[in-house]
């Protein structure tokens, strides 16, 4: 799921999580994998919606954070790079056009069931490149 915002604030993050909850409302458990950005916290939802509403939203959501020292493992980073190459890596004049372009790109990626072809192995990670 992709959401275009003007900034990356705690409130923007909270609204994104709420949108995920609404979109996947029939799902038993929603697992959200993300980096450790300071806005990516449950507290952001409390600030945006209050404690009671935040608890309702977070009821079946699990946050999983990528290791701080290994952000390059974050599949989201790869997907953002693909989005830059295929969609947003050019001047887009206004927010409405940007939203439309990103939504169309996201729909295409999902329809084609696009995947990341991961080639990094433990053997490569253990190699000495010095």
Residue 9's pLDDT is: 92
pLDDT means per 10 residues, the chain with 130 residues, are 85 95 94 85 94 95 81 70 90 92 92 81 74
Which pTM value belongs to this model? 0.70
Give 92: exposed, middle or buried? Use CB within 10 Å, 0-12, 13-18, 19+: middle
Q: Is residue 125 part of a domain?
A: no
Same domain, 12 and 63: yes
Q: Is residue 123 part of a domain?
A: no
Domain that holds residue 80: 74-117
Residue 123's pLDDT is: 80
Residue 42's pLDDT is: 92
Q: Is residue 6 part of a domain?
A: yes
Same domain, 10 and 48: yes
Same domain, 111 and 89: yes
Same domain, 19 and 61: yes
Residue 119's pLDDT is: 74
Same domain, 51 and 112: no
> Which of 4, 79, 3 minimizes the C-alpha distance to 35?
79
Residue 57's pLDDT is: 95
Same domain, 6 and 44: yes
Same domain, 33 and 94: no
Provide the domain count of the chain. Answer: 2
Same domain, 96 and 82: yes
Q: Is residue 111 part of a domain?
A: yes
Which residue, chain included where needed, has tokens 């038993």?
A: 28
Q: Is residue 122 part of a domain?
A: no
Tokens in use for 2?
């992709």
């Amino acid at each position: 799921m992709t959401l275009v915002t003007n900034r990356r604030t705690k409130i923007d993050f909270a609204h994104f999580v709420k949108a995920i909850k609404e979109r996947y409302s029939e799902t038993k458990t929603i697992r959200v994998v993300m980096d450790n950005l300071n806005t990516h916290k449950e507290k952001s939802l409390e600030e945006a919606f209050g404690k009671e509403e935040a608890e309702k939203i977070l009821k079946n959501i699990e946050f999983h954070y990528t290791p701080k020292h290994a952000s390059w493992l974050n599949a989201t980073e790869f997907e953002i790079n693909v989005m830059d190459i295929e969609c947003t890596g050019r001047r887009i004049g206004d927010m409405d056009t940007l939203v439309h372009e990103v939504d169309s790109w996201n729909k295409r990626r999902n329809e084609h069931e696009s995947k990341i072809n991961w080639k990094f192995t433990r053997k490569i990670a253990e190699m000495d490149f010095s």
